[in-house]
Structure 1
């Protein structure tokens, strides 16, 4: 093979890899929306100069305009500012819920799938109990038991997701445990814990990432629903669900509901689209 043909083959291979890694426009837009939400949560003051708590009574219930992109609420507060500052609570609480679900559910599924026997039976019964209760109802039960605020709503949402992660992790662990390289490690004298953490966990956790991303969007929706029902932080907090709940009392001024609802839906749909793309590219 000549040098020119080798160079040409390398170029074709590189182009093929770039094509395979090319992000579809819809996914790129989804990443942009999620990145904007994260930026809002990290540095809200960079995106608005209004006060999210104190408004101007003379400017109450103004429609969307260049000065107030989402209009103003019944106390004269800029609604766009309220949505931006409420992002931190919504995103952080969803992240807490995902972390709880991943670690608790992942640990249960890992141990149940790897050790089998009575360990699998015990954890399987626990997962069955959790799955028997509707997820949102379970979240309501937990947040009622531990108290009404956004952090507790996040914990409740994470608890409701434990069974889902446990079931997926258990399935992947059982599949990985039967792989040739795992059996070879056993035959070569590897300890159970070494094989569990060195071989099984890294390979079995691949399917958890897309699920965690999907659960992140679902957690935003569940926590917003809990806030809508009054299980989150009270006013003057500006969680997205709480803003929708307040806006429903002013139906003559529909932007009070449409603006936070649109931001919530756009964020959740974007996260779901990213999750589907990750599953296809895995």
Structure 2
């Protein structure tokens, strides 16, 4: 084992001709498979179902799950599986928008706070403290109520509520890394602050931020589904996952209307969380 002067990390020197491989647990492979299926649903939904998600057959309403209708039909005879598949694009896209907002804004705030320090750190730290003092879901409800009830606005609201989480982690990682020996060594070799930031600090910070972004993607899906359930997303005939659960709860004799989209949400969120956990452990 040797210590890399410029990264500060222990690294092993493998024997000649030997490659170091990281074993991937079966649970991670299953989680990746679930996430890939969901992403394919959002990109090419027509490959996975031939049913129309908007127009149904009233003669086949409230049919239980069967080989013809995997997740059953709803109160208008529409195939629930088709509605879930076609609703994936909205759910996934809005979650990505939320993560990008939180990642970009939060990382900039945390980077400026941790790297510059002093008065900048004090001011930005108080802003982050205020955001952290407000429950994330409550902040999202307030923002989406101000912007309007659409899925895009729900995504923006979810992203705003995630800014403080990214800012806090980025600040902590930057403060931890900037005091490392390899950063001080870069200064002794004639490097300046921008070089230290770009060549040494950011490369050692981004793995933690990526793991958090993956985790936040799953949380964003859950928060946006909850907002849609409460009516803060696009109105029918949209088929957002949360809206499907909300509309299905009015039909207690057809529990699959709730269970099917709810299970998809749970499976997706748990899979994303498992991948995020593995990324942190692999690091």
TM-score normalised according to structure 2 size: 0.92
Deviation at 1:179, TM superposition (A): 1.3
What is the CA distance between 1:10 and its match in structure 2? Answer: 5.0
Give the match's secondary structure for 1:65.
coil
**Structure 1 segment 250-265 matched on structure 2, within 5 A:** 250-265=251-266
Aligned position for 1:6: none
Task: Quote the offset at 1:229 in angstroms.
Answer: 0.2
Instruction: Specify whether residues 198 and 10 from structure 1 end up closer, same or farther in structure 2 by C-alpha distance, changes over 3 A only.
Output: closer
Match of 1:221 in 2: 222
Query: Are the equivalent residues in 2 in contact too, given 1:228–1:242 (CA < 8 A)?
Result: yes
Mapping 1:10-49, distance limit 5 Å:
10=16, 13-14=18-19, 17-18=20-21, 21-49=22-50
Partner SS state of residue 72, structure 1 = coil
State the match for 2:122 in structure 1: 121
Distance in 1 of aligned mates of 2:92 and 2:235: 17
Q: What secondary structure sits across from 2:235 in the alignment?
A: coil
**Which has the larger helix fraction?**
1
2:28, 2:201 → 1: CA distance? 31
How far, CA to CA, are the matches of 2:134 and 2:145 in structure 1? 15
Q: Is there any run of 5+ residues in structure 2 with no aligned partner, and where?
A: 1-14
Q: Which residue of 2 aligns with 1:268?
A: 269
Residues 173-218 of structure 1: CA deviation (Å, up to 9, x unaligned): 0011001222233334433233222322221222111111110100
Corresponding residue of 1:82: 83
CA contact (8 A) 1:110 1:201 kept: no
Runs of at least 5 residues in structure 1 that lack an aligned partner in the other structure: 1-8
What CA distance in whole angstroms lies between the structure 2 residues aligned with 1:233 and 1:194?
A: 46
C-alpha separation in 2, matches of 1:104 and 1:36: 30
Partner of 2:63: 62
Cα-Cα RMSD:
1.2
